[in-house]
């Protein structure tokens, strides 16, 4: 039987984040391909982690900067190794290459971290010019074009590290077509190293079972609080957007409308924002994200920076819940189709859209249908699961030829792995 090793940055939590859902889908795909799968991580066991043993997957705790991993991976001798984000490739890629040089090395980027970081830095730069916290939290989303983003990404070392990891691996899984274009046009990454692979599951929407407009109430915002774009969106809602939305609804006799904010791991600074008088409710972790999304009338996702595709907006469409978001929110999420809600990059337009969708049943139903169309005609137009299986099989059969076509990858593995290797060995020796 073929063996696959997944090196996880964290243990998968599909009920807490889109990243957790994504990783679980990839593990399930490898199981369906008849791989004997081992999932290894140096992260602490988490509260909401998925029981991988229930899938027949072996779980293995590993340590950073420790040669015990070398012995483990050499004995396992996997045919394929999947790295969860570029951080794990940096830590363990050179060890895998030394112990198992013929194993196919695949990187799951989740989203392009250096792109998200660049947008965050641009937002912070704009906020530095503000005189107080309210002004700071009223700065508009980042709408920089690809060239400006590239220039910003080149200012730090994160893009250097992330793109180097992409070149070192045999294949990198991408969830965003925008990010693929950015990597190819500005970073000269060959197309054969990148594979477009958004969420693998094609969940059918049972429209008849979804609550209708009149059966729903309140607004919802959802997302893991440890993910910085999510926390930033909560701050924008608190300091600018929600007070105006609530005031406008109160003026037309809808003062009972509330905003319910869900997400795993809310820190004290988040729970302190809870204010029932303002209709601003910090709910914390949702045991059933689908249920709370289906009960809400409108989803608010005011993302001022970020990257990748957004699990919360996928869930909103699947639950028939129109969403109000930004151009960053809809990036690589619609394929040019009309959005299942509204897109706004300024507070006035965002508020007007939120109020209109909450009041107007005809508009609400129209946007709900547009969300269903995106799922059907964009995300489900291709069976990405089958396409990925085919690509991985090709790699297994033609590994040396494909590596021979990637000279930059060979060069980076020769130099970069040496520096990472020596740093890891120095830390290990120091710890002893």
**CA–CA separation, 159 and 150 (whole Å):** 9
Boundary-marking domain end, from 379, 397, 419: 379
Give the angle subtended at the CA of 250 by the CAs of 244 and 251, to the nearest 5°.
Answer: 95
Instruction: Give the helix ranges, DSSP H, for 100-220.
Output: 113-127, 133-136, 146-153, 158-168, 177-186
SS3 label, residue 204 = coil
Residues 160 and 241 in one domain: no
> What domain count does the chain have?
2
- Return the closest-CA partner of residue 246 out of 298, 185, 203: 298
- Distances in Å between the Cα of 342 and the Cα atoms of 46, 219, 220, 362, 370 are 36, 14, 15, 14, 11
Q: Are residues 71 and 181 in the same domain?
A: yes
Its pTM stands at 0.93
SS3 243: helix
Q: Within this chain, do residues 336 and 387 fall inside the same structural domain, yes or no? A: no
pLDDT of residue 381: 83
The pLDDT of residue 242 is 98
Q: Are 196 and 409 in contact (CB under 8 A)?
A: no
Are the C-beta atoms of 96 and 417 separated by less than 8 Å? no
What gap in Å lies between CA 338 and CA 255, rounded to an integer? 30
Q: What is the CATH number of the domain that holds 77?
A: 3.40.50.2000
pLDDT at residue 331, as a whole number: 98
Q: Residue 426 has what pLDDT?
A: 63
Residues 153, 189, 103, CA angle at the centre, nearest 5°?
Answer: 115
Count of all residues that appear for the chain in the document: 432
Whether 373 and 395 map to the same domain: the answer is no
Alpha-carbon span 381 to 304, nearest angstrom = 29
Phi then psi dihedrals of residue 195, to 5 deg: -135, 120
> Do 174 and 52 sit in the same domain of this protein?
yes
The tokens for 257 are: 């409308």
Same domain, 328 and 387: no
Coil/strand/helix, residue 5: strand
Provide the domain limits for residue 67: 3-117+122-202+382-431
Of 379, 401, 416, which residue is a domain's last? 379
Q: Do 391 and 196 form a contact (C-beta atoms < 8 A)?
A: no
pLDDT at 418: 58
Indicate if 88 and 163 belong to the same structural domain: yes
User: Does one domain contain both 243 and 342?
Assistant: yes
Q: Considering 379, 400, 417, which residue would you say is the last residue of a domain?
A: 379
> Three-state DSSP class for 383?
coil
Q: Is the dihedral of CA 195, 199, 201, 202 positive or negative?
A: negative
pLDDT string in tens for the chain (432-residue length)? 899 999 999 999 998 888 999 999 999 999 999 999 999 999 998 888 999 999 999 999 999 999 999 999 999 999 999 999 999 999 999 999 999 999 999 999 999 999 999 999 999 999 999 989 889 999 999 999 999 999 999 999 999 999 999 999 999 999 999 999 999 999 999 999 999 999 887 778 889 999 999 999 999 999 999 999 999 999 999 999 999 999 999 999 999 999 999 999 999 999 999 999 999 999 999 989 999 999 999 999 999 999 999 999 999 999 999 999 999 999 999 999 999 999 999 999 999 999 999 999 999 999 999 999 999 999 988 889 999 999 999 999 999 999 999 998 888 887 665 566 666 666 666 676
Residues 298 and 421 in one domain: no
Query: Do 200 and 177 meet the contact criterion of CB atoms below 8 Å apart?
Result: no
Q: Does residue 262 share a domain with residue 370?
A: yes
In terms of DSSP bridges, do strands 80-84 and 341-343 run parallel, antiparallel, or are they unpaired?
unpaired
Phi, psi of 84 (to 5 degrees): -90, 95
Residue 128 near residue 99, CB atoms below 8 Å: no
- 363 shares its domain with 425: no
> 425 and 304 in one domain?
no
CA distances from 97 to 85, 93, 213 (A): 17, 6, 55
Element holding 396 (H helix, E strand): helix 384-397
């Amino acid at each position: 039987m073929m063996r696959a090793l997944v090196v996880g940055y964290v243990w998968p939590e599909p009920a807490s984040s889109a990243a957790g859902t994504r990783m679980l889908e990839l593990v399930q795909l490898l199981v369906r391909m008849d791989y004997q799968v081992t999932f290894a991580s140096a992260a602490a066991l988490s509260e909401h982690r998925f029981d991988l043993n229930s899938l027949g997957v072996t779980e293995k705790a590993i340590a950073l900067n420790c040669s015990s991993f070398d012995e483990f991976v050499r004995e396992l001798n996997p045919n394929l190794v999947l790295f969860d984000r570029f951080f794990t490739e940096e830590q363990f890629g050179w060890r895998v290459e030394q112990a198992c040089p013929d194993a196919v090395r695949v990187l799951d980027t989740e989203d392009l971290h250096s792109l998200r970081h660049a947008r965050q830095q641009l937002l912070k730069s704009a906020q530095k010019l503000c005189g107080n916290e309210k002004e700071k939290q009223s700065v508009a989303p980042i709408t920089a074009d690809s060239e400006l983003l590239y220039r910003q990404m080149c200012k730090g070392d994160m893009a250097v590290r992330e793109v180097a990891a992409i070149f070192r691996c045999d294949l990198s899984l991408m969830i965003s077509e925008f990010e693929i274009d950015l990597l190819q046009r500005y970073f000269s990454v060959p197309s054969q190293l990148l594979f477009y692979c958004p969420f693998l599951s094609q969940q059918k929407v049972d429209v008849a079972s979804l609550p209708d407009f009149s059966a729903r109430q309140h607004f919802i915002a959802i997302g893991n609080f440890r993910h910085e774009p999510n926390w930033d969106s909560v701050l924008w809602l608190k300091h600018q957007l929600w007070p105006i939305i609530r005031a406008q609804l109160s003026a037309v006799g809808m003062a009972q409308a509330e905003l319910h904010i869900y997400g795993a791991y809310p820190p004290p600074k988040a729970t302190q924002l809870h204010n029932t008088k303002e209709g601003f409710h910090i709910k914390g972790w949702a045991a059933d994200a689908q249920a709370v999304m289906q009960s809400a009338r409108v989803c608010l996702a005011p993302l001022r920076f970020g990257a990748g595709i957004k699990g919360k907006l996928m869930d909103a469409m699947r639950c028939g819940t129109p969403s109000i978001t930004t151009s960053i929110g809809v990036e690589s999420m619609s394929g040019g189709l009309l959005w299942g809600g509204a897109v706004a990059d300024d507070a006035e337009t965002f508020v007007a859209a939120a109020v209109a969708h909450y009041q107007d049943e005809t508009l609400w139903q129209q946007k709900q249908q547009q969300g269903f169309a995106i799922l059907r005609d964009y995300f489900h137009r291709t069976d990405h699961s089958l396409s990925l299986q085919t690509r991985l099989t090709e790699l297994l059969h033609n590994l040396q030829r494909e590596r021979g076509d990637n000279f930059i990858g060979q060069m980076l593995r020769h130099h970069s792995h040496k520096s990472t290797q020596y740093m890891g060995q120095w830390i290990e020796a120091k710890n002893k």
